[in-house]
Amino acid sequence: MEKFITLNGLVAPLDRPNVDTDAIIPKQFLKSIKRSGFGPNLFDEWRYLDHGEPGMDNSKRPLNPDFVLNQKRYQGAQVLLGRDNFGCGSSREHAPWALEDYGFRCVIAPSFADIFYNNCFKNGILPIVLDAAIVEQLFQETDASEGYSLDIDLSEQKVTTPAGESFAFEVDEFRKYCLLNGLDDIGLTLQRVDDIKAYEQKRKAEAPWLF
């Protein structure tokens, strides 16, 4: 997993609540047995005017000029600004895979669905919860100034606007540690083999039908 320490990234606004993982990456692309290559199909049904299927040459497909990520000013965006309940729905990790493959490293929203939020951390993406009023301010500032970018500092846990205004955010210590260091948490858990074995022994005595 790629480390996340600091980021200065162009911001793209996605102004709708309840953006679900079906919208982030539609089901037909879930048939892949790989972890990469989902970026061209991120938000496929909103982004293109035709119906997308795996194996198509996406560079030849007609783009929806009304979709925000197709606007020239947002090309290269690394920070996605969203509304409430971002990432709701299916547990598909293909959603953060697609966001990461497209180039996003950070999503800012007033709230996230639990599974999506958790999946982001496993893939080097930092999801940041900020108050709805602050998110609204960021939407307005993004809209008002082309090239609007945010400074994000994970170790300091703060987002800073181009005008120098800073907003603090919360993040679990363990998730922060893994993201800062790009750590594979399976490796960390396997350092606790003795604990797991001891638990199994105790549990086997209490509830043998589980083994």
Partner 1 sequence: MTGKTLYDKLWDAHVVSQSDDGSSLIYIDRQLVHEVTSPQAFEGLRLANRKPWRADANLATPDHNVPTTGQAAGVEGIVDLVSRLQVQTLDSNCDDFGITEFKMNDPRQGIVHVVGPEQGATLPGMTVVCGDSHTSTHGALGALAHGIGTSEVEHVLATQCLIQKKSKNMLIKVNGKVGPGVDAKDIVLAIIGKTGTAGGTGYAIEFAGEAITDLSIEGRMTVCNMAIEAGARAGMVAVDDKTIEYVKGRPYAPAADQWDAALANWADLHSDADAEFDAVIELNAAAIQPQVTWGTSPEMVLAVGDKVPNPADEADAVKRTGMEKALAYMGLAANTPINEIAVDKVFIGSCTNSRIEDMRAAAVVAKGRKVADNVKLALVVPGSGLVKQQAEAEGLDKIFIEAGFEWREPGCSMCLAMNADRLEPQERCASTSNRNFEGRQGQGGRTHLVGPAMAAAAAVAGHFTDVRELD
Residue 57 or 206: which CB sits closer to partner 1? 206
| Interface with partner 1, residue 142, by CB under 8 A | no
Q: How far is the CB of 199 from partner 1 (least distance, A)?
A: 4
In 3D, which of 103, 110, 53 has the Cα closest to residue 87? 110
Residue 39 or 89: which CB sits closer to partner 1? 89
Whole-angstrom Cα distance, residue 29 to residue 55? Answer: 9
Tokens standing for residue 58: 């996406």
Whole-angstrom Cα distance, residue 180 to residue 152? Answer: 13
Residue 10 or 42: which CB sits closer to partner 1? 42
Q: Which of residues 76-135 bind partner 1 (CB under 8 A)?
A: 83-85, 88-93, 96, 111-115, 118-119, 122-123
Among the residue ranges 9-17, 70-78, 98-106, 149-157, the one whose residues contact partner 1 (CB under 8 A)? 9-17
| Interface with partner 1, residue 6, by CB under 8 A | no
| Interface with partner 1, residue 203, by CB under 8 A | yes
| Interface with partner 1, residue 3, by CB under 8 A | no
Q: Which residue among 63, 182, 200, 204 contacts partner 1 (CB under 8 A)?
A: 200
Residue 11 or 24: which CB sits closer to partner 1? 24
**Pattern 53-82, partner 1, x by CB under 8 A:** -xx---------------------------
| Interface with partner 1, residue 2, by CB under 8 A | no
Please state the three-class secondary structure of the chain as a single string. Answer: CCCCCEEEEEEEECCCCCCEHHHHCCHHHHHCCCCCCCHHHCCHHHHECCCCCCCCCHHHCCECCCCHHHCHHHCCCCEEECCCCECECCCCCHHHHHHHHHCCCEEEECCECHHHHHHHHCCCCEEEECCHHHHHHHHHHHHHCCCCEEEEECCCCEEECCCCCEEECCCCHHHHHHHHHCCCHHHHHHCCHHHHHHHHHHHHHHCHHHC
* Interface contacts to partner 1, rule CB under 8 A: 15-18, 20, 22-23, 26-28, 30-35, 45, 51, 54-55, 83-85, 88-93, 96, 111-115, 118-119, 122-123, 172-174, 177, 184-186, 188-190, 192, 195-196, 199-200, 203, 206-210
